Amino acid sequence: MQLPTAALLLLLLLLVVAPSDAHNITRILEKHPEFSTFNRYLTLTHLAPDINSRTTITVCAVNNAAMDALLSKHPSIYTVKNILSLHVLLDYFGAKKLHQITNGTALAATMYQATGSAPGSSGFVNITDLHGGKVGFGAENNDGTLSATFVKSVEEVPYNISVIQISNILPSAAAEAPAPAPAKQNLTAIMSRHGCKVFADTLSAFKDALNTFTDNLDGGLTVFCPLDDALKSFLPKFKNLSASGKVQLLEFHGVPVYQSIATLKSNNGLQNTLATDGANKFDFTVQNDGEEVTLKTKLTTAKITDTLIDEEPLAIFAINKVLQPKELFKAESPAPAPTPEPAAADAPTPPKKKGKKKTPAAEAPADASDSPADSPGDAADDTADDSNAALGRYVSVALALGLGLGLALPLVL
C-alpha cells in the first residue's frame, strides 16, 4: 500500500519535471542582467520562440552597451530582427569547439540566412581563430573584416544550445538595410486562396467584424480560419445567432497579437480574442502536443491544419472546425445539421447597430435575449463541466503533491 503511493508520487514528480527539458533562451539570458536589452529584443522580434524550437544552435549575445549602440541608430523593429537573426548560428559552437576550429576558420549559416531574405552570402558568419587564443567573428559580406571577438561562454547545453558573448554587434550592410514593414496584407484574399473562402466571404459581409480584423493588422494579428467544409456545415447555427452574435463569432477567430507557429507550439494557455471585451471573456485554450496545435473551447476542439501566412505581424492558420465560444452556445452535443447551400452566409439581414465591440454593455443583453437558451449560461456550463472541474481539482492536487515531494526529496537525499 505504501509502495504504490510512492510510485504514484514519483510518477507525478516526473510529470511535473519533464516539460522543462527544452531550452528557453529568455530564461537563460534572464540570469544575466548584462544581456537584458538583447534578451528583450529577442522577445520583441519574436526570435525567441524560433530559437527555442531549434537545436544545435549558437546565440551570440552582446551586452547592453553594444545593444544601445545599435538602437541609437533607431532601426525599425524589422531591421533589428534581421540584425539579431545574423547573431544566431545554425550550428553548435561551445567555447572548446570555437578554439579548435578545423583549419582555423569556418563559415556558419545563421537564422538570417534561413529567412531567405539575405542577399548573396550575407547570411553567413565567418569565425576565425586569431593569435593569442582570440576568436574573431565577422559577417561574411563585410570585406573580410572580423569586427567582433569572442568574450566568454554564457551557457552551454552540449549540442543543443550554446550562448556566448561576443564583443559587439556584427556590422552587416545587408542586415542593417532598412527592412520595410511588411506591406498591408489583404486578409480575405489570402484566406480565399487557401481553402477558407467561405470564412473570407462571411467576414466581408460583416464590415464591423472585418474592420476589427484589419484595424489590428499593424500591431499584430493572428487569424484561425475554419476550412470551407467546416464553416459550411456550421452555417445553420451561425444564421441562428443575433446580429451581434455573428460579429462576435467571427471576431472570436482572431487574436490581437502576432503568434508564429513556433510560439503556438511552445505555449499552452488561455488566449484572448478580438471578441474579448471586459466581462465577455471570449477566450479559448491553446494546447499543443508535439507538432500538433489544438484550440479548445468548452464545446469545440479544433486543430490547426495549415499555415496560410506566418510573417510578422500577420499569421493566418486554417483550422478544421468552427470555434464555438461558450458565451454564444450552450454546451450540447451538436446535432449534425443538414448540409446547406455552398454560398457564404447571407449578408446580415438585421441592420447593424453601431456594433463595435467597444460597447459591451449594449451588446451583452441583446445576445441574452436573442438566444434565450443561453441566458442561464453559467448554470448550463456548470453541469456540462463537472467532469472538467473534477479533473482540474485532480490536477491541482497532483501538482501540489508533486511539488511537495520535489521540495522534500532534496532533504531526504
Q: Which residues bind ligand NAG (CB under 6 A)?
A: 21-22, 24, 26-27, 30, 52, 55, 102-103, 105-107, 126, 128, 144, 146, 157, 160, 186, 188-189, 192, 236-237, 240, 266-267, 337, 373
Grid cell for residue 393:
481539482
Q: How far is the CB of 124 from ligand NAG (least distance, A)?
A: 8
CB 76 to ligand NAG: min, Å: 23
C-beta nearest to ligand NAG: residue: 144
| Number of C-beta neighbours around residue 231 at 10 A | 23
Amino acid identity, position 180: P
Q: How far is the CB of 390 from ligand NAG (least distance, A)?
A: 27
CB of 328 to ligand NAG, least distance (A): 11
**Cβ closer to ligand NAG: 149 or 240?**
240
**Residue 299 CB neighbour total at 10 angstroms:** 20
Q: How far from the centroid of its chain's Cα atoms is residue 114's Cα?
A: 19
Asked whether the beta carbons of 264 and 270 are under 8 A apart, the reply is no
- Rank residues 236 and 406 by Cβ distance to ligand NAG and give the closer one: 236
The least distance separating ligand NAG from the CB of residue 184, rounded to whole angstroms, comes to 8
CA 197 to CA 237: how far, in whole Å?
Answer: 18
**Closer by beta carbon to ligand NAG, 55 or else 388:** 55
The cell for 396 is: 491541482
Nearer to ligand NAG, 9 or 380 (CB): 380
Helix segments in 291-385, DSSP class H: 360-370, 377-384
Q: Which is nearer to ligand NAG, 100 or 396 (CB)?
A: 100
Q: What are phi and psi of 33, to 5 degrees?
A: -55, -25
* 9/230 with CB nearer ligand NAG: 230
Q: 88: which 3 cell numbers?
A: 544566431
Look at strands 284-289 and 124-129 and give their pairing: unpaired
How far apart CA 140 and CA 131 sit, in angstroms, is 20
Query: What are the Cα distances from residue 270, in Å, to 19, 44, 264, 267?
Result: 18, 20, 11, 10
Backbone angles phi and psi of 93, in degrees to 5:
-125, 95
Q: How many CB atoms lie within 10 A of CB 382?
A: 13
Nearest approach in angstroms of CB 320 to ligand NAG is 20
In the complex, the smallest distance separating the C-beta of residue 221 from ligand NAG, rounded to whole angstroms, is 14
Closer residue to ligand NAG in complex, CB, 160/305: 160
If the CB atoms of residues 75 and 136 are measured against ligand NAG, the closer one turns out to be 136
Q: How far is the CB of 243 from ligand NAG (least distance, A)?
A: 15
- Type of residue numbered 31: K
- Parallel, antiparallel, or unpaired: how do β-strands 254-255 and 269-271 relate? unpaired
10: Cβ contacts below 8 Å, ≥ 6 apart: 405
